[in-house]
Amino acid sequence: MLVPVLLMSDQTFPTNLYGDKKLWPLFMSIANIRSEFPNKPLSQAWLLVGFLPVGPKRNNKVAGFSAKDQEYDPLSIQHKIIAHVLLPLTKLFKVRIQSYGGVNVSFNKVGMQEG
């Protein structure tokens, strides 16, 4: 059985509570759930799995560190963090689901393939 993992992330501003600070939440869902269901606001099919670090502001006065490098540095680090978060899925593991709706469902193995 295949369980494709979907990740979604974007910066957001919790201005009312924490001043001008930014957050970068990371949400996860699975493609086994039909898309019309998780897209409903109250479906709760996108779960919060992490908060990525927000990169520092760009500084044009840093010698030897161009604006382009400053743009890609946080992105490359965040990709490494996401790879680190996904690392446990590279090992097959067992998931056992309790019965629901009178039907017993159990999934023996879940693995990861980068796509």
- With CB under 8 A, what is the number of residues at the site for another protein? 60
The answer for 29, left when phi > 0, alpha when psi is -120 to 50, beta otherwise, is beta
Residue among 13, 51, 79, 104 that touches another protein (CB under 8 A): 51
107 near another protein, judged by CB under 8 A? yes
Other C-beta atoms lying within 10 Å of the C-beta of residue 29: 21
CB-based contacts of 60: which residues, under 8 Å, 6+ apart? 67
Give the CA distances from residue 30 to residues 4, 47, 112, in Å, rounded to whole numbers and listed in that order. 6, 10, 12
Contact 89, 110 (CB under 8 A): yes
Residue among 11, 21, 65, 83 that touches another protein (CB under 8 A): 65
Write out the binding residues for another protein, residues 67-86 only, by CB under 8 A. Answer: 69-70, 73-74, 77, 81, 84-86
Positions in the binding site for another protein (CB under 8 A): 1-5, 16-17, 26, 28-35, 37, 43, 45, 47, 49-56, 59, 62, 65, 69-70, 73-74, 77, 81, 84-86, 88-89, 91-98, 100-101, 103, 105, 107, 109-111, 113, 115
